[in-house]
Chains A and B, each alone.
Chain A
Amino acid sequence: MPKDVTDVICPFCGTLCDDLIVTVSDDNKTILGVKNACAIGAEKFNHQRLPGRVKLPRMRQADGTYKNISYDEAIDWTANMLVKSRKTLMYGWASTSCQAMSIGHEIAEKVGGIVDNCATVCHGSSLIAIEDVGVPSCTLGEVKNRADRVIFWGCNPAHAHPRHMSRYSIFPRGFFTVKGHKGRKIYCVDCRYTDTAKCADEFIQVQQGYDYELLNAFRTAARGEALPDTVGGVPKEKIIEIVEDLKSARFGIIFFGMGLTHTMGRNHNIDIAINLTRDMNDFTKFAIMAMRGHWNVTGSGQVLGWQYGFPYAVDLSRRDQARHQTGETTSVDLLNRNEVEACFYIATDPGAHFPVDAMISSSRKPTVTVDPHINCTTEISDIHIPVAMVGVEVGGCAYRMDNVPIETRKVVDPPEGVLTDEELLTKINHRVDELLAKGGA
């Protein structure tokens, strides 16, 4: 008899929905169906059963083809690589559990690695801004229960966080928001009319690259100071009208994404949006939140935070201190400048996301990639080590976009013989200890 696993946490995006119901075969090996997930989340569970799962490590041959090797061989090769390299990039982590990250950090400390996560090409800009000016924020339940003004600035949850609007930000009826979306005014600020804009009450089209200037104009208007006629394509009358409306809110929230993190100025765009939010707290209650992408990039930031004091780009190569400087200890810069000698990728796909020059540089160095599947990165690595899918085949802690921690569940068994990230990293850690005791590689 198939059985239903309830309260399942979706391991795809930062919305971290925890109300999924997954139907599983009697023998615990196959997922038969998923309820409540969005299309992306459902796909993550459903593709678990597709044929062609990689079950053994693969090693690149001289002719570019891959040959299967044993886990022990792969672990030994990896440990040797790590011990020998003077500076190793250990990047990814955003799709694995906090428990696994912790073991990875132990290894990084011993071998002098740099631990970086997907924020480095995503919300790293937001983290820089928060490092500079802090952030007034809240949990998603506060938005659900209190918010009567919601601004989506430079983000498109309709595509990237599909259930966000129904679970938290537009439609739910909460304690103080019994009218649901009818009691909220929704703004969407973007350079193009997105599917999210279709759900908004008002769409403001900002000239591409002018978000910083427009936010500056909002702050200027909030202080009652004079404005130029238009800013970023938005007339000053509209700016003043919006600011007055926001001041009359009971609880306002700004959600933002790549429209701010990846346009001109990057962290400065978020920095000034945070300052606007802070200014609005002089008049009413306002909060701001980053729409984190990967389901556990926030978790990587948290574990790095409590173990080393920084949220990403943590350089442990000096081994007696942890250092952090975006632009120096960040993955793309390290690769572009050829500042590392080896690469270890886990729970991510930089081959698909990083600038091409950085990956060309990466492909020239000894590289190990740990991932359940073949992806762009595995095909330019020396070794690809398969592991279980976290949140599907093994559980582990994850942090939502508002930093709320939720323990993901194991729903089915991993393919026979496939290790979990925790098991693999533990074995690598142990092998590194053996090599270091012998006096290096």
Chain B
Amino acid sequence: MMSEFIIRNGHVFDPVQGIKGDKKDIAVKDGKIVESVSSGARVINAAGKTVMAGALEIHAHVAGPKVNAGRWYRPEDKHFDSHKKPGMTRIEGGKSIPTVFKTGYEYARMGFTFAMEAAMPPLYARHVHEEIHDTPIIDEAALPVFGNNWFILEYLKNHEVENTAAYIAWVLRQTKGYGVKCVNPGGTEAWAWGLNCLTIHDPVPYFEITPAEIIKGLIEANEFLGLPHSMHLHQNDLGNPGNYKTTIDSLKLAEGIKARNNFGREQVLHSTHLQFHSYGGTNWGDFESKAKEVMEYVNKQKNLTIDTGNVTLDETTTMTADGPFEHHLHGLNHLKWFNVDVELETAAGIVPFIYDPSNAVFCSQWAVGLEIPLYAKDPMRCFITTDHPNAGPFTRYPRVYSWLMSKKVRDELLNGFKKADKVIGATTLANIDREITLYELAAMTRAGPAKALGLSKDYGGLKPGMNADIAIYNINPDKFPSTGPEIEKAFANVAYLFKDGKICVEEGKVVDMGKKQTFWVDAKVKENKQVMHDVREKFLRYYSVNENNYPVPESYAPHQHIISVDATQ
């Protein structure tokens, strides 16, 4: 029997309804936001507080084999850190790669109710779901990776979009996956031979297909299926000076393609952690920001969404399916390198990284990460992430918000850098006066990601009928905190977190585990004998597991939120 609540007198920020801080009551009943409740409803006093929908994390590495490898191969990441916070919580640990318990609690404490695991290798899907199962409170989903998958490379070489779509639908069902992720297209298959694809025209060894063909083909297959989310791309040439040209070349591949789906999604391509892909210069010496140029293009192209990938200037851990990049990074900083190539599908690499604020390049990366959202014309298409844990731990989101919402706070940091002059010379951040408002923040962290994920009907907003995922912060918009630490503190510990209409966090303390669900997409396609034959053959001849042992059993996801898509037309 779900309770009734009335959240009174809060300052509501909801881009779905266009509410920009007005004092409004929000009524909750049986897990949903409703027009009104009875007089018996529990009153939550939100006077002087900020009320938003629960936030949605669109891209983080929080569950799966490379995340876990990062955890256990870095005991020092837990050193002097693990301490239980008050509440009914399990042991928490891990500064840059939190354990699953800490992950769930910390997201909830910051007002998040959903997280997308950014890259799931299909062969390891069971592992991803075991971790999702153990992560408390927040709803989660995972994106299987396709950009280096042998089936995809062979189908798209011959531009067989329908076969590609049928295979994608099959993988989504086997792995309980959410959508189409593409990491370093072609380059990670090349990496299985120690090679890479740095531009979108470098052909993949043996398969002789280019990244451009892979990107375009996956976008087309995604729209053929009409999935809730768009193709989600981590471009080639991540992290290298001068890579902004490859970035814009990749984004251009989406030109002229219209979104086709029943979920309200308007973008056909989501470009992730754009900060890492917006570099000019030719080497680390003349490294400079090209965020302005990249955002000029993004602002023009309405069928794109992006997320930032903000550098937080911490010691963290990089981990990505861009295997060759991690090998390259290891060559630069010589820190311990973990790599695994996954048969027929993908790879992953891990290297610890220290974004030392006395280093001009790292500070410039920090500036690039802030320039991107500050140049974004449409906050509904630009979302805030740290590509956790690559550019920084997700627990730093409150700090990132403080830099975006206060020029004073970010300038103080910028001017205090050891190599401030070099950093200011290589970037444009010093010249930007814009400060992100609470309303824009709500778009960038709630309404926008929900829409991009095809979840806007029920999530990301506070309209009656939507799911009662609500975050109430101790922030008075009329007396917005003026120092960095105060802004951070307010965003790091919600006054209340409602998940499915139940209070799970109160004053930063976890009080209820709620009912977390695993979201996945079940796309129905016409029977495809060719693809099923290819699947059978590849399992018999090339995979190291049997086809019948590949799917994720139901027991791994006891509470499923299945989104059905009919692509048989």
Physical contact A–B (CB less than 8 Å): yes
Report A221 CB to chain B, min CB distance, Å.
20
Contact of B72 among A136, A140, A305, A323 (CB under 8 A): A305
A321 engages B72 (CB within 8 Å): no
A309 engages B193 (CB within 8 Å): no
B124 engages A404 (CB within 8 Å): yes
Q: Tell which of A83-91, A207-215, A281-289 binds the partner.
A: A281-289
Residue numbers in B under 8 Å from A140 (CB-CB): 343, 544
Question: Which residues from 138 to 168 on chain A have a C-beta closer than 8 Å to any C-beta of chain B?
Answer: 138-142, 144-146, 167-168
Residue numbers in A under 8 Å from B218 (CB-CB): none
* B201 interfacial contact with A, CB 8 Å: no
B90 engages A109 (CB within 8 Å): yes
B548 engages A320 (CB within 8 Å): no
A405 engages B127 (CB within 8 Å): yes
B73 engages A306 (CB within 8 Å): no
* B543 interfacial contact with A, CB 8 Å: yes
Contact of B545 among A106, A316, A406 (CB under 8 A): A406
* B266 interfacial contact with A, CB 8 Å: no
* B336 interfacial contact with A, CB 8 Å: yes
Residues of B in contact (CB 8 Å), total 59
Question: Which residues from 22 to 72 on chain B have a C-beta closer than 8 Å to any C-beta of chain A?
Answer: 63, 65, 67-69, 71-72
A9 engages B549 (CB within 8 Å): yes
* A407 interfacial contact with B, CB 8 Å: yes
Question: Which residues from 410 to 437 on chain A have a C-beta closer than 8 Å to any C-beta of chain B?
Answer: none
* B93 interfacial contact with A, CB 8 Å: yes
- Whether A321 touches B82, Cβ cut-off 8 Å, given contacts A305-B72, A306-B134, A309-B97, is yes
Question: Which residues from 478 to 518 on chain B have a C-beta closer than 8 Å to any C-beta of chain A?
Answer: none
Residue numbers in A under 8 Å from B339 (CB-CB): 134-138, 287
Name B's A-contacting residues (CB within 8 A).
63, 65, 67-69, 71-75, 77-78, 81-84, 90-91, 93-94, 97, 99-101, 123-124, 126-127, 130-131, 134, 150, 192-194, 206, 327, 330, 336-344, 350-351, 541-546, 548-549, 553, 556
Report B489 CB to chain A, min CB distance, Å.
22
Contact of A145 among B97, B124, B542 (CB under 8 A): B542
B65 engages A403 (CB within 8 Å): yes
Residue numbers in A under 8 Å from B93 (CB-CB): 308-309, 321-322
**How many Cβ-Cβ contacts under 8 Å join chain A to chain B?**
191
B78 engages A320 (CB within 8 Å): no
Residue numbers in A under 8 Å from B553 (CB-CB): 407
Contact of B99 among A309, A403, A404 (CB under 8 A): A309
Complex: how many Å from CA A130 to CA B350?
12
Residue numbers in A under 8 Å from B67 (CB-CB): 306
Residue numbers in B under 8 Å from A19 (CB-CB): 546
- Give B78's nearest chain A residue, CB to CB: A309
- Whether A284 touches B542, Cβ cut-off 8 Å, given contacts A321-B82, A407-B126, is no
Residue numbers in B under 8 Å from A9 (CB-CB): 549
- Starting from the known contacts A106-B90, A131-B73, A132-B336, 17 additional A-B residue pairs (CB-CB under 8 Å) come to A136-B338, A138-B340, A138-B343, A139-B340, A144-B544, A145-B344, A173-B541, A281-B194, A302-B68, A306-B99, A307-B100, A309-B94, A321-B83, A403-B65, A404-B124, A406-B126, A407-B549
* A6 interfacial contact with B, CB 8 Å: yes
- Give A9's nearest chain B residue, CB to CB: B549
B124 engages A278 (CB within 8 Å): no
Residue numbers in B under 8 Å from A265 (CB-CB): none
* A311 interfacial contact with B, CB 8 Å: yes
- Give B64's nearest chain A residue, CB to CB: A306
Residue numbers in A under 8 Å from B192 (CB-CB): 138, 142, 146, 251, 285
Contact of B193 among A139, A251, A324 (CB under 8 A): A251
B341 engages A139 (CB within 8 Å): yes
Name A's B-contacting residues (CB within 8 A).
6-7, 9, 18-19, 98, 102, 106, 109, 127, 130-142, 144-146, 167-168, 173-176, 250-251, 278, 281, 284-285, 287, 301-311, 316, 319-324, 397, 399, 402-407
- Whether A316 touches B91, Cβ cut-off 8 Å, given contacts A18-B546, A98-B130, is yes
Report A424 CB to chain B, min CB distance, Å.
19
Complex: how many Å from CA A174 to CA B544?
10
B78 engages A310 (CB within 8 Å): yes
- Whether A141 touches B71, Cβ cut-off 8 Å, given contacts A308-B93, A310-B78, is no
- Whether A139 touches B342, Cβ cut-off 8 Å, given contacts A130-B73, A284-B194, A306-B100, is yes
Complex: how many Å from CA A319 to CA B89?
11
A141 engages B91 (CB within 8 Å): no
Residue numbers in B under 8 Å from A168 (CB-CB): 544
- Whether A304 touches B72, Cβ cut-off 8 Å, given contacts A403-B340, A404-B123, is yes
- Give A106's nearest chain B residue, CB to CB: B90
Report A91 CB to chain B, min CB distance, Å.
18
B91 engages A281 (CB within 8 Å): no
Complex: how many Å from CA A109 to CA B338?
29
Complex: how many Å from CA A158 to CA B193?
28
- Whether A139 touches B343, Cβ cut-off 8 Å, given contacts A285-B194, A308-B91, is yes
A109 engages B343 (CB within 8 Å): no
Complex: how many Å from CA A141 to CA B543?
6
B68 engages A305 (CB within 8 Å): yes
Report B192 CB to chain A, min CB distance, Å.
6
- Whether A167 touches B72, Cβ cut-off 8 Å, given contacts A9-B549, A308-B99, A322-B78, is no
Residue numbers in A under 8 Å from B83 (CB-CB): 320-321
Report B559 CB to chain A, min CB distance, Å.
16
B336 engages A309 (CB within 8 Å): no
Report B394 CB to chain A, min CB distance, Å.
16
Report A411 CB to chain B, min CB distance, Å.
14
A7 engages B546 (CB within 8 Å): yes
Residue numbers in A under 8 Å from B549 (CB-CB): 7, 9, 18, 406-407
Complex: how many Å from CA A186 to CA B69?
29
Residue numbers in B under 8 Å from A306 (CB-CB): 63, 67-68, 71, 99-100, 130-131, 134
Contact of A102 among B134, B150, B344 (CB under 8 A): B134
- Whether A311 touches B72, Cβ cut-off 8 Å, given contacts A142-B192, A250-B193, is yes
Report A267 CB to chain B, min CB distance, Å.
13
Report A401 CB to chain B, min CB distance, Å.
11
Residue numbers in A under 8 Å from B130 (CB-CB): 98, 302-303, 306, 397, 405
- Whether A130 touches B124, Cβ cut-off 8 Å, given contacts A284-B194, A309-B77, A316-B91, is no
Complex: how many Å from CA A6 to CA B77?
43
A18 engages B545 (CB within 8 Å): yes
Residue numbers in A under 8 Å from B68 (CB-CB): 302, 305-306
- Whether A134 touches B123, Cβ cut-off 8 Å, given contacts A146-B192, A307-B134, is no
A–B pairs, 30, beta carbons within 8 Å? A6-B548, A18-B546, A18-B549, A106-B90, A130-B338, A131-B72, A134-B338, A135-B73, A137-B338, A137-B341, A139-B123, A139-B341, A141-B342, A141-B543, A142-B192, A175-B150, A251-B192, A306-B99, A307-B99, A308-B99, A309-B72, A309-B74, A309-B75, A319-B91, A323-B78, A324-B75, A402-B340, A403-B65, A404-B544, A405-B124
Complex: how many Å from CA A109 to CA B91?
8
B327 engages A281 (CB within 8 Å): yes
Complex: how many Å from CA A251 to CA B341?
12
Report B206 CB to chain A, min CB distance, Å.
8
A167 engages B544 (CB within 8 Å): yes
- Give B549's nearest chain A residue, CB to CB: A18
A397 engages B78 (CB within 8 Å): no
Report B246 CB to chain A, min CB distance, Å.
24
Complex: how many Å from CA A140 to CA B544?
7
Complex: how many Å from CA A145 to CA B123?
15
A136 engages B126 (CB within 8 Å): no
Complex: how many Å from CA A251 to CA B337?
18
Report B96 CB to chain A, min CB distance, Å.
11
